[in-house]
Chain A
Amino acid sequence: MDNSTIFSRRSFLGGVSAAALLPGLAKAQTPLTFESFAARARALSGFDAIPRALLSGARSALADTEIDAFVSEDGSSDNADKTVLKALYTGMHAPAEGTPERFAYAQALMYATIEDAVNVPSYCGGLPGYWSEKPDNV
């Protein structure tokens, strides 16, 4: 995991208009702040609260040219939607080509989705033998 990339993206996305910094996005209609990205990510994922590490990671998974379509909600962003959702839910970005990058593990939304039944692997699940009980939600 390359923390330097994340931190640098995080700091510039933390309020500064991306359009001001990214020449390719200078004509963007939507103000491409971190907040607009986060709002769209929340709506798409079904989660009201998303850890910032996941949001920053998901943002960094998109090519700069895809952000506009993603935030604009005009239906043109199928691929970007899936890229962001996979990043938020799995905690990593695994492009078809190129090196995968993990930005979160236990915070990945897929684990939050099932947390009442299954613990995050490598974290203790409960009292020894807890697994023999019927899960509460069954």
Chain B
Amino acid sequence: MKFLFDKDTWQEIYGAIRKNKGRTAITIIGVMWGIFLLVTLLGAARGVENGFNRMFGSFATNSVFVWGRATSMPFKGFQEGKRVRLTLSDIDAIEQELPEIMMTVPRISTNSLCSNGFKAGTFEVFGDYSELDMVQKKNLVYGRFLNKTDILEKRKVCVLEEETYKQLFDKDEYPIGTMIKINDTNFKIVGIYKKGAVSIDSAEIHIGYSIFQQLYNRGENIDYMFVTANEGTDIVQLEADIKLLLKNIHKVHPEDDRALGSFNMGKEMEKVTSFLTGMQFMTWFIGIATLIAGVFAIGNILLITVKERTKEIGVRRALGATPRDIRNQIVMESVFLTSIAGMLGIIFGGIVLVIIDSLVGDEPDAFMVNPTINIPIVLIALVTLVTLGTLIGLIPAGIATRIKPIEALREE
């Protein structure tokens, strides 16, 4: 291995490569193309993944949302069409029965007239718990989301979605601390948030659960429950369990699929994840196949050049080169070429990713966000490349060492 650190080895290699520019260029292009594809495709795949994550990432992915609807089958003396009303005690019941539930957050909602001076409109008002922020993290533009004290002390504070804020306020008017009227009651604005591309919020104004109950005279009934499961729970199974339990409590036929509505975040995420996995797999497949093709091209070209350089190799042997000297030189040429090609490919791939990134921009609905490739993958790719370069270089090197000086030097 000493020869690796010998400056002369590299000078010999550099000399041979520099002075065979044509073949060096051709050789490099193949591998460069392969690693370039790998880097750009992986980066693009990462970008798409980031895009999905931005859309879904604010959600606790192991959560399922359930709401009551009307029955579609008669059961235990009840006619079909009975309205299922979920209650706070349902939450206690399912949490008792199903230990895999980490947290359940109820929500009540109504449409209500809201106004800020002369600007007014009907908006959907939600009664929420501060824990909602854990189900879907709010992307706050100003201020904060509801907190525990707001709920406990029944504070008259509210959080607006950005669109609502735009309808109730003039442009550039700082809203935090301002009062608006909700159902003829003054509420102080504590936060403005921006809705993501995928959201559990159809709008619009969030106030504390407790103050909502009081304001609209709601009892135990709830409109939605957001169930978040412990890590590692089979969320599809949990959804079925919850629904069966609720059907039991509310005397609904167990096979009545219309009585309860639900949205399973976990299931949706799974689809996205498997799509992303597929995409990654494709990327790796294409990239590696191209890389291997490129490395083989290098091997092939080295093989040709070994034949072209038979005489040179014979001369070197006559002048005192051992078969090992010859082998090392050819292998090192291969490694050197693959490494240079690899680095060039990575650099060009990086440049293309930067260009893509600037073209895609930073819109919230962009299908790609921050297309990057991480350093470990780049390093692995490089190491693999050098290894492949060594292995493939061994073939022409082996042939080169078998060249007999007398045969190489024989005058025709």
A binds B: no
